[in-house]
Amino acid sequence: MLVRWLARGMHELPDSADWLSPTESARLASLRFTKRHGEVRLARWTAKQALVRALDLDDDAAGLARIEIRAASTGAPTVFLGDERAPVAVSMTDRADWAVCVVAPVGLAVGCDLELVEARTDAFVRDWFTPGEQDLVADAAPGDERQLVANLVWSAKESALKVLETGLRRDTRSVEVDLVEDVGDERWARLVVRAEEGPAFAGWWRRYGAFVLTFAADADCDPPVCLEEPPGLANATPSHSWLAQVRRPR
């Protein structure tokens, strides 16, 4: 099954809002926090750009506004073209002013997650990781390698929890990550995430500079293929633009 993906940065987000559907505009208007408002807007823009390329749709404002990302009862994103359900499955993620959308054939449950390779405390690892995952982190060399493994494991968990359509409502220790391959800077590497009730989710991961991107699915598939080359993440720099937009009290 061909799975495709696309990344976009906050600096690429248009100032206009005419590409949003009325429902999406209303939801954005209801968000109180600047950070969340920007994240949702960027995720929607990235998803629509991915869908335009994957489904060969019109990319003008009217065409983009016709694409609507709705939340299912579980919170999982679903795609509608007007009033019709689109024949695709998607997963969305954002981190540090960058967003990724994965587009897969309908019937394949997918999840993706983007994380920064940053320091994670020992307490974080103890609280959220299984004993086996804690050993993976402990066995990694101190410094960048250990930070990579900790964030990779966390990201893979999030991807699998999206496949399960539970997100962080579910105990993160109820799924366990196995890093089948320990490379990812130059190519995609395999991983597997096993749920405590039995299912195993095939996955892939790859590092892009300061970021690590993971993907999981409920069926075996090849690594996701980027909808453009080079991928936007190839030269991505993390930032936190929302900080400059927060109004400081007088």
The dihedral region occupied by 241, where left means phi > 0, alpha psi between -120 and 50, and beta the remainder, is alpha
Domains of the chain as residue ranges with CATH: 1-108 (3.90.470.20), 110-223 (3.90.470.20)
Q: End-to-end distance of the chain based on CA atoms, in angstroms?
A: 55
Per-residue pLDDT tens for 160-182?
Answer: 999 999 999 999 999 999 999 87
Q: How many CB atoms are closer than 10 A to CB 199?
A: 13
Q: Which two tokens stand for residue 8?
A: 């976009």
Is the pLDDT at 249 greater than 70? The verdict is: no
Query: pTM of the prediction?
Result: 0.95
The pLDDT confidence band at residue 186, using thresholds 50, 70 and 90, is: confident
The pLDDT confidence band at residue 250, using thresholds 50, 70 and 90, is: very low
Is the pLDDT at 118 greater than 80? The verdict is: yes
Per-residue pLDDT tens for 72-95?
Answer: 999 899 999 999 999 999 999 999
CA dist 74 → 60, 93, 122, 246 (Å): 31, 16, 31, 31
CA dist 190 → 34, 85, 178, 201 (Å): 36, 31, 9, 11
238: amino acid identity, one letter: P
Q: What pLDDT does 198 receive?
A: 85
Provide the percentage of residues in the chain whose pLDDT is more than 70: 96
Kind plus residue range of the DSSP H or E element containing 84: strand 84-85
Per-chain mean pLDDT for the chain: 94
In angstroms, rounded to a whole number, what is the distance separating the alpha carbons of residues 122 and 112?
25
Give the residues across from 214 on adjacent strands: 113, 205
**Mean pLDDT, residues 226-247:** 89
Is the pLDDT at 23 greater than 50? The verdict is: yes
